[in-house]
Amino acid sequence: MKLEGRHQRSITRTADGRGARILDQRRLPWEVVWVELRSAEEAERAIREMWTRGAPLIGATAAYGLAIALAADGSDAALDAAHALLLASRPTAVNLRWALDAVAATVRPLPPAERGAAAFAHADAICDEDVALNRAIGEHGLALFRELHARHPDRPLNILTHCNAGWLATVDYGTATAPIYLAHDAGIPVHVWVDETRPRNQGALLTAFELAGHGVPHTVIVDNAGGHLMMQGQVDAVIVGTDRVTANGDVCNKIGTYLKALAAQDNDVPFYVALPYTTFDAATATGAEVPIEERSGDEVTTVAGEGGTIRVTASRAANPAFDVTPARLVTGYLTERGLLDMV
């Protein structure tokens, strides 16, 4: 990612190697604030309160949280307690359990004194792999975008995306944004329609921040404008990320994704889902079985901006954070292995 004039990752170890350093995404785009996590409890809070978010990045943060705990106490009891604490931080993204289970499986056979260092090494490897996976997704997506642009070479390629599936949701590159960045860098004229993505406005605040930093032309739109733009022929493709894809290909992603998929199908606009293998949940048969996180209604009744937080309604609000897009509405799954019709 390009931030503060140089390439950086969204999560790294602290300078002393004994903690994790993350961006406080609640402060973006108004302030760039880095936070150091020094305990499993701090990592859990950062995930639960969405200082850090996005399925792959949640997994990486949890892996470091587990490593921090084991460096302090490598006992079985400490391992089990930290694993349970971090796993409960958010229920929907499958990368969280995947990362925690992977680190736990690596360290459990080891003597307690060796578990902390091994856990940190595994967390580092998870981050390195995430960067490689997203880069590969971008390369395959670049080939797809070349093909899409060749159909209308006289104008920019118009891509619509929902929520934030960029480097702020991963360790680097992003999933849905990786092909956008690579296409832009390759000279393909790309324009991105950025859904604001209520209620936390991850599109308007985070995706737009990313694209601006990389120099990619983009326009923020209200969530309900996508169908109109598709009907007007102003969207060549929709590409989104995902927090979990089930065995049958159902896609669980930020609330509102399903509506974009419906509009895309009605207007013959291809709808792509970008994901690494770590977001595929073979153990869950369909999207109907995925636990949908219900977050505080305060996220709906208030809006945070540069000047602070204001209340926008006096009524009670419901806040389901995710929805499920049936596999039948997905044109293809963009993975590190290429474009797949079904996972």
What are the tokens at 208? 């737009």
First to last CA, the chain: 28
Q: Which runs of consecutive H residues, i.e. helices, occur in 92-218?
A: 94-107, 112-151, 178-185, 202, 208-214
**Cβ atoms 49, 27 nearer than 8 A:** no
User: Is residue 243 among the annotated active site residues?
Assistant: yes
Q: Strands 218-221, 244-246: parallel, antiparallel or unpaired by DSSP?
A: unpaired
Pick the catalytic residue from 172, 223, 236, 243: 243
Residue type at position 1: M
Cβ neighbours, 10 Å, residue 287? 23
User: How far is the C-alpha of 182 from the C-alpha of 13, rounded, in Å?
Assistant: 27
Neighbours of 182 (CB within 10 A): 21
Taking alpha carbons only, the member of 316, 162, 304, 269 closest to residue 224 is 162
Asked if residue 66 lies in contact with residue 58, where contact means CB atoms within 8 angstroms, the answer is no
- Residues with a catalytic annotation lie at 243
